[in-house]
């Protein structure tokens, strides 16, 4: 019985679309994160003087600190975006596919 449901799910065009959409969305988010992260690492490696510039007149912090915080915030934001889409759109489609298979 479980194999029948499994086969019905796999044969459902909505399932194929869900897998394709979820995979491409995951790759897009991954590529964005890699660009931001490795961009920051490249700045550290190749332009330390830019990151070491004092920020403001007091010189207490440098340009690198807010950029580093920005990388962390970007990670949190895109994770939230992915989770929101997964918990709404992807889960709704998944439930619909399961209902149709039963």
In tens, the pLDDT along 33-80 reads 999 999 999 999 999 999 999 988 887 899 999 999 999 999 999 999
Q: How confident is the model at residue 1 (pLDDT cuts 50, 70, 90)?
A: low
Contact 8, 100 (CB under 8 A): yes
Residue 3 clears pLDDT 80, i.e. is over it: no
* Mean pLDDT to the nearest integer, 79-100: 94
> Between the ranges 4-8, 29-33, 56-60, where is the mean pLDDT highest?
29-33
Closest CA to 67 of 42, 97, 95: 42
Residue 94 is predicted with a pLDDT of 93
**Rounded distance between C-alpha atoms, residue 58 and residue 56, angstroms:** 6
Q: What is the pTM of this model?
A: 0.80
Question: Quick check: 2 pLDDT over 70?
Answer: no
Instruction: Tell me if residue 54 falls in helix, strand or coil.
Output: strand
Query: What pLDDT shows up at residue 4?
Result: 83
Can you give the C-alpha Rg of the chain in angstroms?
Answer: 22
């Amino acid at each position: 019985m479980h194999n029948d449901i499994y086969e019905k799910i796999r044969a459902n065009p909505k399932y194929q679309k869900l897998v394709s959409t979820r995979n491409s969305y995951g790759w897009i988010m991954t590529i964005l994160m890699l660009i931001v992260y490795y961009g920051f690492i490249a700045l550290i490696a190749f332009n330390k003087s830019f990151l070491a510039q004092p920020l403001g007149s007091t010189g207490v912090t440098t340009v690198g600190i807010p950029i580093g915080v920005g990388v962390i915030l970007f990670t949190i934001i895109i994770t939230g975006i992915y989770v929101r889409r997964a918990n709404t759109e992807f889960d709704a489609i998944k439930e619909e596919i399961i209902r149709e298979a039963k």
